[in-house]
């Protein structure tokens, strides 16, 4: 999963990658995507950021865009290679919000 973007956790399409920033930064990115006309926004996270992704989705749904629904949730495992060359598995999640 390539995490290229503009530094805000948002890419040029309708995907928001969750990282270490404050939860509300990602909520703002998702709401901005919806306000720009997207019918769906995908929230992606790996590892420890998974719980933050769930928080973002719930805050968007309950506080900002009440008509948004969780259309799909996909979970998986990604093989990653560490700096030392060791392979490790990292859990991942994709939450698709739609309105």
Compute the half-sphere exposure of residue 36: CA atoms within 13 Å on the CB side of its CA.
13
Evaluate if residue 2 carries a pLDDT over 80: no
pLDDT at 82: 86
> pTM of the predicted model, to two decimals?
0.85
- The alpha carbon of 87 is separated from its chain's Cα centroid by a whole number of angstroms, namely 24
Evaluate if residue 42 carries a pLDDT over 90: yes
15-98 to CATH, choices 3.30.110.20, 3.30.930.10, 3.10.450.50, 3.40.50.1580: 3.30.110.20
Of all residues in the chain, the percent with pLDDT exceeding 70 is 88
Give domain limits for the chain: 15-98
Contacts of 27 (CB under 8 A, 6+ apart): 56, 59, 60, 64
Model confidence at 12, pLDDT cuts 50, 70, 90, reads low
Question: Average pLDDT for residues 9-35, to the nearest whole number?
Answer: 91
Model confidence at 1, pLDDT cuts 50, 70, 90, reads very low
> What tokens were used for 10?
């948002």
Evaluate if residue 83 carries a pLDDT over 60: yes
């Amino acid at each position: 999963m390539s995490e290229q973007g503009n530094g805000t956790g948002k890419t040029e399409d309708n995907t928001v990658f969750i990282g270490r920033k404050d939860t509300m930064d990602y909520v703002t990115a998702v709401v901005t995507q919806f306000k720009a006309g997207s019918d769906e926004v995908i929230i992606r996270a790996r590892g420890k950021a998974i719980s933050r992704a769930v928080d973002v989705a719930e805050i968007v749904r309950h506080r900002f865009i009440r008509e948004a629904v969780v259309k799909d949730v996909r979970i998986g495992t990604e093989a990653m290679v560490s700096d030392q060359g060791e392979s490790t598995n990292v859990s991942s999640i994709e939450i698709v919000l739609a309105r």
